[in-house]
Structures are given as C-alpha cells and as structure tokens.
Amino acid sequence: MPDHVVIFDTTLRDGEQSPGASLNTAEKLEIAHALELLKVDVIEAGFPITSPDDFEAVNRVAKEVRGSTVCGLARAVERDIVRAAEALEPAKRPRIHVFVATSPIHREHQLRKSKSEVLKMAVEGVTRARSFVEDVEFSPMDASRTEPDYLAEVVAAAIDAGAATVNIPDTVGYAIPDAYAELIASLFESVGNIGKAVISVHCHNDLGLAVSNSLAAVKAGARQVECSVNGLGERAGNAALEEVVMALRTRRDHFGIDTRVVTNRLTATSHLVATLTGISVQRNKAVVGENAFAHESGIHQDGILKERTTYEIMNPDDVGAQASKLVLGKHSGRHALRSSVEEMGFTLDEKQLDDLFARFKVLADKKKEIYDDDLAAIVEEELTTTPDLFELLSFHISSGNTLVPTATVRIRKCETGETECDAATGDGPVDAIYNCVNRITGIESKLVDYRIRAVTVGRDAQGEVSLRLDSGGVKANGRAVSTDILEASARAYVRAVNRVAAGLHGQRSAAQ
Ligand SMILES: [Zn+2]
C-alpha cells in the first residue's frame, strides 16, 4: 500500500474529452511538463487507438516525461492494448489502463455480452496488457451501477490476472458519498486478494459530487484518485485535482494521509490548462478561482489583517496564488527573460526563446512594466503555434460611429508563398477583419465564442482574445494577446482558421 494518495491526472485524456476542449500535441506536451513539475504520480496522456493524433501525443509524452508514470487507455480488446503498448514504448514508467463496462445497462445495451463473457474480457485484457508492461490498471466501467457481488468477482479476477491498480469508476456521476464509501469498504471485505492492488476512484461531477465522492472513497481505503486540472472532463467533468489535493492537505487531521503534489504550482497549472483548452475557470472556483482568497466583507478584511487564519483555511502562497509580480522592464536582457520563464515552469528551446525575446522587446516598447502574467500570456501563445497555412502580415481598419467599418487585410499563403490582399466591411471592426480573412482564405466559419480579458491591470494592459470557430462541424480554438485588441482579435482568428484548415480536430470517441 502506498503511504500517500496516488494522484492520477486525466486532464489529457478525460479532460480533453470536455466539449469545447481540444489540444494539439504541442499543447498536450506543455501540460504534461506542468503536471510533471506538479509531481502528479500518473499522467494519463490519451487513448492511443482513437486517432493518430492521440497516439502521437501519448508517444511524445512517454518520450519526454521522466518524473511521472505515463499511462495510455485501452478497451479490453487486443488491438487497443497493442496500440497503447506501442505508444508507451519509450516511457520510463509505462502503465496500460484497460477497461470494460460491467454494469447491466452497459452489458445489455452497449456490449451485448453476458456476465461471464465480460469477466473473460477483463481477465484476457489485463493478461495481454501484462505481457507488455508490469504496471497495469483495470477499470470496470460504470462500477457504481454494477451489481456489487459481480463487481467483487471482476475485481478479484483482474487482480489475479495481474492488475496492480483497480479503479472503481463512477462513470456517470451517479454515486452519493456515503453509499460510494460503503461500496469501496465492501470490496475490502469481500475481495480476498484486494491487498495486492491499489484501489482507485474515478468520479464524474454530474451531481456536483465528484470531489466529495473521491474523498469519501479515500476515507474508505482508496489510495488512488483520478482527477483533472480545473475538473475538466466528459459532461460536467471529473473531480478537480486542485480541490482533492488541497482537501487532503488542509484536512490531514481528518484523512491522516496526503499526496505528493507540489501545491504551490496549482494556480499556475490551472491557468495554463485554462488558456490552452480555452475553458476558463469561474471566479469563485475553489482553490484556483480569482476570488478564492479575496475578502470583501469589512469584518472579514479586519479579521484577516489581525490574523490571517481567522478567515483563511489555506495560505494563498501554498497554492501559488500570489498577485501578479513585476518581473521585467524595457532594459531586461535575454538572460533575465530566460530565467523568468524558467522560474514560471515553462520549458523553451532556443528558437522559442528567440521568438519570445523578439515579442518581449516589442511589448516592452508599448508597455513600461512587464508582469509575470504578461510573460505567461505570450509564452502560452508561442507554445500554441500550429503549422501555419496562412500568416497574417498586416491589417488596416477604418471605423467610427458614422462609418461602415472596413478592414484591409494582407495574408501570406505559406504553401505557395504568395501574398493576397483584400478588403471587406462588417458590423464592427472585428467583424470586418473576420469577413476579410474568410474571403482571402476561402474558409467559411461561424464564430461560436469570443472573449476578451485584460491580462494585467492598467490601461496599457495586454488584451487576451480567445475565440472558437465552427466550420461545418470542424471546431477550433484560437487565442492571442496584444496591447491592441484588434490585433489580438485578428491573430486569434487567423490561428483558429489555420487549425480548421489543418483539420487538427477530428472527432474523438468517448470512453469512461
Ligand atoms: Zn471519465
């Protein structure tokens, strides 16, 4: 039994299945590096059989991540397991996660198999996965709606077949904390060989109970929690990693066990994931929301000034929630820039650092003080670069309350090298730019989401535009920052159009 609760992060697999979230390989790698710095025990990097992109992402994470176990998901069928094993081949510590649905609803309607056939699939799946790797996890999908005696039988058989971790997923978010804890406790009583495996939980948040259910299960003996940054995941999402970790840390008196997570990286990791997925976190989100440590009431503020613990159960420093720091100025050099971004947890190669330095110099001319949030915003933009088909060279706007807004845009088509310039009108300057980009690229798309926020304080702050396009069912996100919001709008749009064009976002099959 581990002496800590194993944190199994599924941001890159279940989290990436969130409607609206889609990550390319470079973005997944960046998140994987952040998870490694956070010291999560296991990173579930994807579901290799589902697409070549997923395979590639798991393979790259397996190559580059050294500090955490890297896991790939597979149904309990041969081709899935073989593909997961291939993707995980370069991993230092590979894990194959095999699953099959065990509940009557799934057996009858989805699998059309009997209890004994499903049991056989589980055993064969675990056995086959063990022929490739030592570390195999098994999940009876929809465990919380499976007959408890049959569940116990499947769990025992999976452990006998060599599963070192057995997960009891609440796939549909149906569980209630006390009953779920009883289910976990009953397995400890009825499964004879349970001491040979780590019992894990994987809770969905359909009733808002994912974190509560996970914690109740830990109290009942579970020693692995599957969770995701910001609670991303199918439908209402998974248990939020930051909440599980901080509940265990803050109430160690109650649980008597902790995790190995480096908690002061939680806020930065949350921010990175929000930026790259385009799914932002609500202000009042526990632990990592903007308001998580804000005190508005006079009585509370007075208490905090006299003694912080009067109204704060966690120290903001412990989750890395410090106010944005002034880091660099106009005269800062390449070396200072490098050490600042490294301190923030980013890994950049020389070429990326050169590009970043050029962006930084342009920004420093427009904006006297550069905060760490400014730097994070441009680093994250550099990291999300996709192979460009279209490059925005310049744009010009004429607009006003008595004019028809008109945009002139110049775009280079990278495949042919030719430059095209065109003009278009619109309902406003942003609309005019977007109409013009559509004309030049020939890609028609609908803007389904458009948001703008100030990265830091002050009138000279950078504006961050994040948007989402739908082009005949192909959806793509785009994001860009600039001190000029029209420039940020234009660049974010061209990025998203590039992603649509590259067809980066194929449909993914869902699991668990
Ligand atoms: Zn799930």
From first to last of the 512 residues of the chain, give the pLDDT tens digit.
789 999 999 999 999 988 777 788 888 999 999 999 999 999 999 999 999 999 999 999 999 999 999 999 999 999 999 999 999 999 999 999 999 999 999 999 989 999 999 999 999 999 999 999 999 999 999 999 999 999 999 999 999 999 999 999 999 999 999 999 999 999 999 999 999 999 999 999 999 999 999 999 999 999 999 999 999 999 999 999 999 999 999 999 999 999 999 999 999 999 889 988 888 899 899 999 988 888 778 888 888 888 888 888 999 999 998 766 767 777 888 888 888 888 777 878 888 889 889 988 888 888 878 888 888 888 888 776 666 789 999 999 999 999 999 999 999 998 899 999 999 999 999 999 999 999 999 999 899 889 998 888 788 888 999 898 888 888 888 889 999 999 999 999 999 998 888 764 343 333 44
Angle, vertex CA 471, rays to CA 467 and CA 474, nearest 5: 90
CA of 210 from ligand 1 middle (Å) equals 11
For residue 511, how far is its CA from the centre of ligand 1 (angstroms)? 7
H helices of 191-221, in order, are 210-219
Q: 171 CA to middle of ligand 1, Å?
A: 6
CA of 15 to the centre of ligand 1 (A): 8
Question: Distance from the CA of 39 to the center of ligand 1, in angstroms?
Answer: 21
Q: How many angstroms is it from 394 CA to the middle of ligand 1?
A: 44
How far does residue 68's CA lie from ligand 1's centre (Å)? Answer: 20
pTM for this model (two decimals): 0.84
Residues in the chain, total = 512
Q: How many CB atoms lie within 10 A of CB 460?
A: 11
pLDDT value at residue 319: 93
Q: How many angstroms separate the alpha carbon of residue 17 from the centre of ligand 1?
A: 9
CA of 341 to the centre of ligand 1 (A): 33
**Type and span of the H or E element at 409:** strand 406-413
What spacing in Å lies between the alpha carbon of 239 and ligand 1's midpoint?
A: 9
Q: If you compute the radius of gyration of the chain from its CA atoms, what whole number of angstroms results?
A: 25
Please, which residues bridge with residue 394 across strands? 410
- What distance in angstroms lies between residue 10's CA and the mean position of ligand 1's atoms? 8
**Dihedral of the CA atoms 361, 366, 371, 372 (nearest 10)?**
-40
Q: 208 CA distance to ligand 1 centroid (A)?
A: 14
> What per-residue confidence (pLDDT) applies to 324?
64
For residue 242, the CA-to-ligand 1 centroid distance in Å is 17
In the reported structure, the alpha carbon of residue 51 is separated from the centroid of ligand 1 by a whole-number distance in angstroms of: 18
Cα of 249 vs centre of ligand 1, distance in Å, is: 24
Distance 497 CA to ligand 1 centre (A): 30
**What's the rounded Cα separation, in Å, for the pair 320 and 287?**
10
What is the structure's pLDDT at 247? 98
CA of 134 to the centre of ligand 1 (A): 24
Contacts of 408 (CB under 8 A, 6+ apart): 395, 396, 397, 421, 422, 423, 436
Could you tell me the CA-to-CA distances from 255 to 197, 219, 222, 249 in Å, in that order? 20, 6, 11, 9
Q: Ligand 1 center to residue 370 CA distance, Å?
A: 40
CB atoms inside a 10 Å sphere around CB 325? 10
447 Cα to the center of ligand 1, angstroms:
29
CA of 361 to the centre of ligand 1 (A): 44
Output the CA 353–ligand 1 centroid distance in Å: 37
* pLDDT tens column, 446-504: 998 899 988 887 888 889 998 988 888 888 888 899 999 999 999 999 999 988 887 64
Burial class (CB in 10 A: 0-12, 13-18, 19+), 215: buried
Note the maximum CA span of the chain.
79
How far, in Å, from the CA of 142 to the mean position of ligand 1? 10
CA of 512 to the centre of ligand 1 (A): 4
Ligand 1: distance of its center to the CA of 167 in Å? Answer: 11
CA dist 477 to 9, 228, 412, 493, Å? Answer: 23, 20, 21, 9
Say what the pLDDT of residue 311 is: 85
**What is the distance in A from the centroid of ligand 1 to the CA of 228?**
10
Q: Which helix (H) or strand (E) holds 248?
A: helix 241-250
C-alpha distances (whole Å) from 411 to each of 23, 304, 388, 392, 422 are 25, 54, 11, 5, 9
75 Cα to the center of ligand 1, angstroms = 13
Query: DSSP code of 178?
Result: H
DSSP 325: P
For residue 425, list its beta bridge partners. 406
Question: Rounded to whole angstroms, how far apart are CA atoms 193 and 262?
Answer: 33
* Cα end-to-end distance, the chain, whole Å: 26
The CA 352 to ligand 1 mean position distance, Å, reads: 35
Distance 18 CA to ligand 1 centre (A): 10
Residue-level pLDDT at 323: 63
- What does the DSSP assignment read for 304-349? HHH-GGGT-SS-GGGGT-PPPPEEE-TT--HHHHHHHHHHTT----
CA–centroid distance, residue 235 to ligand 1 (Å): 9
Taking the centre of ligand 1 as the mean of its atom positions, its distance from the CA of residue 226, in whole angstroms, is 9
Q: What share of the chain is helix, strand, coil (3-state, %, to 5)?
A: 45, 20, 35
Distance 233 CA to ligand 1 centre (A): 7
CA of 238 to the centre of ligand 1 (A): 7
Give the pLDDT of residue 6.
98
Q: What's the 153 CA to ligand 1 centre distance in angstroms?
A: 22
DSSP 109: I
Pairing of strands 94-101, 69-75: parallel
Interatomic CA distance for residues 62 and 81, integer angstroms: 16
Residue 21 alpha carbon to ligand 1 centre in Å: 15
Residues 6+ apart with CB under 8 A from 396: 407, 408, 409
91 CA to centre of ligand 1 in angstroms: 23
CA of 429 to the centre of ligand 1 (A): 42
pLDDT single digits (tens) 49-90? 999 999 999 999 999 999 999 999 999 999 999 999 999 999
